[in-house]
Amino acid sequence: MSRAVDHTVPPAVAEEELLRAQVYTLLARLLSRAPDADFLSALSGVAGEGGEFGAALNQLAEAARDSDPAAVEEEFTTLFIGVGGSERTPYGSYYLTGFLNEKPLAELRVDMARLGIARADGVTEPEDHIAALCEMMAGLIGGEFAPEDGGTVDLEAQRAFFDRHVGSWAGRFFADLETSPSARFYRAVGAVGRGFLAVEARAFDLAA
């Protein structure tokens, strides 16, 4: 599901905002398909800068160094695709209602239209997949979408989207991923996601 939505050319953004967008992009990439050998090699050099999120990044780097690409591919299939059902169901509607394609997805589509976020051609997954939502957050931070009112997506608008479509459930998904029986490499991905969303929630609260 990489590049699940269409993008415009983004404007220049502040360094701290760019870093936020990069983490969302990393999560989107890891949750849309299994990392190949080159990506695992790149991840092995990631280093955290202290705190729970920094420790999670270090855990991810260690997991990347210790992982075989074929094994991670198999793990990804078991966790998110599966034959006869996946181990985890990474959709907002499922976490919020217990069913797929429910009201949260319809509400997301309304907000996507308002914010100028268009689903990319050829994408078959519902838009409330965690990878797509992380990609949307990255695009909102980077100014890659054109809201229908012609305005910009400021921090308040980012928070509203986050609270409604990401913060309302994705922390539980990442926590579940950390404890998934088949997860090895993706335990570290779960830790990164959970830690990052906690940082995001605190930052939004401080900015309020």
**pLDDT of amino acid 148:** 80
Question: What's the pLDDT score for residue 9?
Answer: 45
Distance of CA 88 to the CA centre of its chain: 15
Where the chain has pLDDT below 70, the residues are 1-13, 83-84, 150
**pTM (2 d.p.):** 0.92
> Is there a domain that residue 55 lies in?
yes
Q: Is residue 71 part of a domain?
A: yes
Tell me how far apart the alpha carbons of residues 129 and 32 are, in angstroms, rounded to a whole number: 9
Cα(157)–Cα(54) distance, rounded to whole angstroms?
27
**Residue range 105-159, pLDDT digits in tens:** 999 999 999 999 998 888 889 999 999 999 999 999 998 987 887 677 899 999 9
State the DSSP code for 144.
-
Is 5 domain-assigned?
no
- The answer as to whether 61 is a domain residue is yes
For residue 162, give the CATH number of its domain: 1.10.3480.10
**How far is residue 180's CA from residue 66's CA, in Å, rounded to a whole number?**
18
Q: Is residue 3 part of a domain?
A: no
- Residue 2: per-residue pLDDT: 46
Q: What is the dihedral of CA 99, 102, 103, 108, to 10 degrees?
A: 110
* Domain annotation covers residue 119: yes
Q: How many domains does the chain have?
A: 1
Asked if residue 1 belongs to a domain, the reply is no
Q: Domain range for residue 16?
A: 11-207
Inside any domain, residue 169 = yes
